[in-house]
């Protein structure tokens, strides 16, 4: 009986993780996207460009776009710029995000990106 209860709880958590994208049980794709996102901030230009190209070319937009939107708030100018370029290539818009803008302007643009994703995620 206890095993059945534990199994039911585990299934419930897994379903909630899948539905609400909590990240408790990341998929292989989510792990790969996280690794590529980390590479955007690496020291080597070629590796950063390769990671950006792979995110755009091979990534599942449902996983990649929200991750890139989060990266728009990175402390690194180069990382923000690469993330913005990836989003532009995927979405075909910039949502008036400028990676070199002051923090307040970037936050406003990130809010526009989040709103845009909520309105457009079904297209991808």
Taking the model in full, what pTM does it have? 0.77
* Structure confidence at residue 124 (pLDDT): 86
Distances (CA, A) of 9 to 22, 60, 65, 80: 16, 29, 30, 39
Residue 18 placed within a domain? no
Contact partners, residue 113, CB within 8 Å, separation at least 6: 69, 72, 87, 95, 97
Residue 5 placed within a domain? no
Domain range enclosing 34: 26-123
Residue 4 placed within a domain? no
* Structure confidence at residue 38 (pLDDT): 93
What is the total count of domains within the chain? Answer: 1
Distances (CA, A) of 77 to 62, 99, 100, 102, 106: 25, 6, 7, 11, 11
pLDDT over threshold 60, residue 99: yes
pLDDT, tens digit (0-9, with 9 covering 90-100), for 74-96: 999 999 999 999 999 999 999 99
pLDDT, tens digit (0-9, with 9 covering 90-100), for 30-73: 899 999 999 998 999 999 999 999 999 998 999 999 999 999 99
């Amino acid at each position: 009986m206890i095993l059945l209860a534990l199994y039911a709880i585990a299934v419930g958590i897994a379903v909630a993780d899948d539905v609400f994208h909590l990240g408790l049980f990341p998929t292989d794709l989510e792990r790969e996207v996280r690794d590529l996102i980390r590479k955007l901030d690496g020291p080597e230009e070629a590796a950063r460009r390769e990671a950006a190209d792979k995110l755009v070319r091979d990534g599942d937009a449902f996983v990649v776009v929200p991750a890139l939107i989060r990266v728009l708030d990175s402390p690194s100018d180069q990382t923000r710029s690469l993330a913005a370029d990836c989003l532009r290539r995927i979405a075909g818009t910039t949502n008036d995000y400028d990676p070199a803008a002051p923090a307040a302007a970037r936050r406003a643009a990130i809010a526009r990106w989040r709103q845009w994703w909520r309105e457009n995620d079904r297209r991808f």
